[in-house]
Amino acid sequence: MSLQINDRLLWPGGKKKALTLSYDDGISQDRRLLKLLNEQGVKCTFNLNSGLLGMEGRVSAGKKEVSHNKIGKEEIVSLYAGHEIASHGRFHTSLTGMDSARCVQEILPCRQELEEITGQPLTGYAYAFGAFDDTIISALKSCGIVYARTIEATHRFDIPSDFFRWNPTCHHDDENLSGLVKEFLSDDKYFSFYSPAKLFFLWGHSYEFDQNDNWEHMEGFIKETAGREDVYYATNAEICQYVEAYRRLVFSADSSMVYNPSCITLWLGGTFTEETLEVKPGAIVKLQEPVDM
């Protein structure tokens, strides 16, 4: 016998699937990617280097050489409208092994300069080259950053326990992508002690589609995962904000009721029930009865 309390996180509307994307460098190929995303209503976080805006260049990284031209300052607000802009370091410098002061010099000006352009607070980050350590994380926190994305694939759909070590599900060129999409879209129960809700987190660089001549690869992914009523489409920041609001919930000692002190409407459920519970801001709500499994 085991009583399972129905206090687990579900996505808005009681959905059990969420999709979020993260693309780096703020480059000209983002224009084509954004056209695909906007046509299908899929949200993405774009990570920009404030000190490199408008610069032109080339990139090969062991593959076919293609353009790596940075989007100019004057185009950022209109181009990325409806999506999230986050920091990627002022000059895309690897900060591993640096002291706190030098880390802050790469992190804080990037945030400030991007905020001046967008006119809104920006609290997300993606590690340049995926490199990070405890000193970098401490510097991020001191600069007001609340989450940071790595490049280490989990091949799972778990909600992160630490948003400063936020590992994506996979890169868009991952050989397991097709199987992961099928598993994500499936209505089979997802086993996780934390939550039955799935989170698919895809990342990459849009110039890689030019390098590999596989734009149709991304077109297929977006069309397959977009437009579904059972999926919550969100930016990285929206995912982080929702999960942190859930973690602020106050439960009674006997697990019979819950108080939501945040300004975000939250949804709760359980692994072994299809019932959902809406908990509005400031509300105290009685939880569903536990399930005997």
Among 65, 76, 64, 91, residue whose Cα is nearest residue 26 = 76
Residue 191 confidence (pLDDT): 87
Domain boundary assignment for the chain: 17-245
Residue 236 confidence (pLDDT): 98
**What is the rounded CA–CA span in Å between residue 204 and residue 180?**
16
Residue 106 confidence (pLDDT): 98
Residue 293 confidence (pLDDT): 67
Residue 4 confidence (pLDDT): 79
Residue 63 confidence (pLDDT): 77
In CATH, the architecture of 17-245 is Alpha-Beta Barrel (3.20)
Residue 212 confidence (pLDDT): 93
Residue 1 confidence (pLDDT): 62
Residue 282 gets which letter from DSSP?
T
Cβ(265)–Cβ(278) below 8 Å: yes
What burial letters (b/e) apply to 79-88, b meaning 16+ CB within 10 Å?
A: bbeebbbbbb
Q: Is the pTM of this model over 0.95?
A: yes
Residue 290 confidence (pLDDT): 79
User: For 95-157, what is the HEC assignment?
Assistant: CCCCCHHHHHHHHHHHHHHHHHHHCCCCCEEECHHHCCCHHHHHHHHHCCCCEEECCCCCCCC
Residue 291 confidence (pLDDT): 77
Residue 271 confidence (pLDDT): 84
| Helix residue ranges per DSSP H, 147-274 | 177-185, 207-212, 215-225, 236-247
Q: Report the relative pairing of strands 277-279 and 266-269 from DSSP bridges.
A: antiparallel
Q: Which residues of the chain have pLDDT under 70?
A: 1, 3, 62, 293
